[in-house]
Amino acid sequence: DFDEAGRLDADPEKLRRVVINLVGNALDALASKADAVDPRVDVAAGQNLAATEVWIRVRDNGPGIPSDKLEAIFAPFHTTKDAGTGLGLAVSRKVVEAHGGTVRAESTVGQGTTISVSFPASDVTRA
């Protein structure tokens, strides 16, 4: 789902890797929920009404993350996967922050997780 297109000055390859990591994590979460009915990963992007921020949101309806463990998902080497390194979200957060952005995670156990990323929009008058 893509809303109004915003403009962003960023390294497209690094941002592509962030999005791939977020979608991959959502798919992994769904794979870990064997009884998933109608598994979904929703990806949305757009800009805020003031056109000052560009955002990306990845939402799944997987098992969710307990609130007391939510911030730990961004810590280096934290993983719940058998073959995971625990670096994906830590590196993704660093990339987003290096571009002046923020990452936020929200989750409800049994309902899924949403990762929201926002960046300052480019000043199109400079372009």
pLDDT in tens, the chain (127 residues): 666 667 788 889 999 999 999 999 999 989 877 666 788 999 999 999 888 999 999 999 999 999 999 989 998 887 777 777 878 899 999 999 999 999 999 999 989 999 999 999 986 544 4
Query: What local confidence, expressed as pLDDT, does residue 15 receive?
Result: 93
Please name every residue paired with 102 in a beta bridge, in sequence order, or none if there are none: 118
Cα angle at 61 between 16 and 40, to 5 degrees?
65
Give, in order, the Cα–Cα distances in Å from 31 to each of 36, 47, 48, 70.
8, 31, 32, 19
Q: Are 127 and 113 in contact (CB under 8 A)?
A: no
Query: What local confidence, expressed as pLDDT, does residue 24 receive?
Result: 94
Query: What local confidence, expressed as pLDDT, does residue 22 receive?
Result: 96
Give, in order, the Cα–Cα distances in Å from 86 to each of 8, 19, 79, 90.
28, 16, 4, 7
Q: How far apart are CA 6 and CA 13, in angstroms?
A: 17
Query: What local confidence, expressed as pLDDT, does residue 81 receive?
Result: 74
